[in-house]
């Protein structure tokens, strides 16, 4: 059973300084995909990157969340969460999610 959209609980996140409302339980990767350009970072050769595997393996979804590098696909949006894309992160530097 689905609820009408007006009754779906939401949380407010801040993406690159812009406040956004997303349904509660949304992953950061899904929230970013809904907002153009839908990318998470820029590669060392300057290419825009976006989530690929969705299961914590590829690390293409690295973003800075509350000042720490995280995997967007493994992180659920929380009220007031500050998310910054294009963090210039190095492969393998993401912090495992609690």
Give the footprint of ligand FES on this chain (CB under 6 A): 51-54, 56-61, 71, 73
Residue 78 main-chain phi, psi, to 5 deg: -130, 155
Scan for tokens 């009408």, then name that residue. Answer: 4
DSSP state of 67: T
| Beta bridge partner(s), residue 23 | 10
DSSP state of 33: H
Closer to ligand FES at the Cβ: 55 or 78?
55
9: tokens are 């609980």
Q: How far is the CB of 55 from ligand FES (least distance, A)?
A: 6
DSSP state of 27: B
Closer to ligand FES at the Cβ: 8 or 53?
53
Closer to ligand FES at the Cβ: 69 or 73?
73
Scan for tokens 């801040």, then name that residue. Answer: 14
Ranked by CB distance to ligand FES, the top (closest) residue is 73
Q: How far is the CB of 57 from ligand FES (least distance, A)?
A: 5
Closer to ligand FES at the Cβ: 22 or 73?
73
């Amino acid at each position: 059973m689905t609820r009408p959209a007006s009754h779906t609980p939401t949380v407010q996140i801040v993406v690159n300084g812009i406040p956004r409302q997303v349904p509660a339980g949304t992953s950061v990767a899904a929230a970013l995909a809904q907002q153009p350009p839908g990318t998470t970072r820029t590669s060392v050769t300057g290419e825009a990157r976006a989530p690929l595997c969705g299961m914590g393996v590829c690390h293409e979804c690295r973003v800075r969340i509350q000042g720490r590098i995280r995997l967007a696909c493994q992180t659920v949006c929380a009220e007031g969460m500050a998310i910054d894309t294009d963090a210039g992160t190095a492969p393998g530097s993401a912090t495992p999610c609690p």
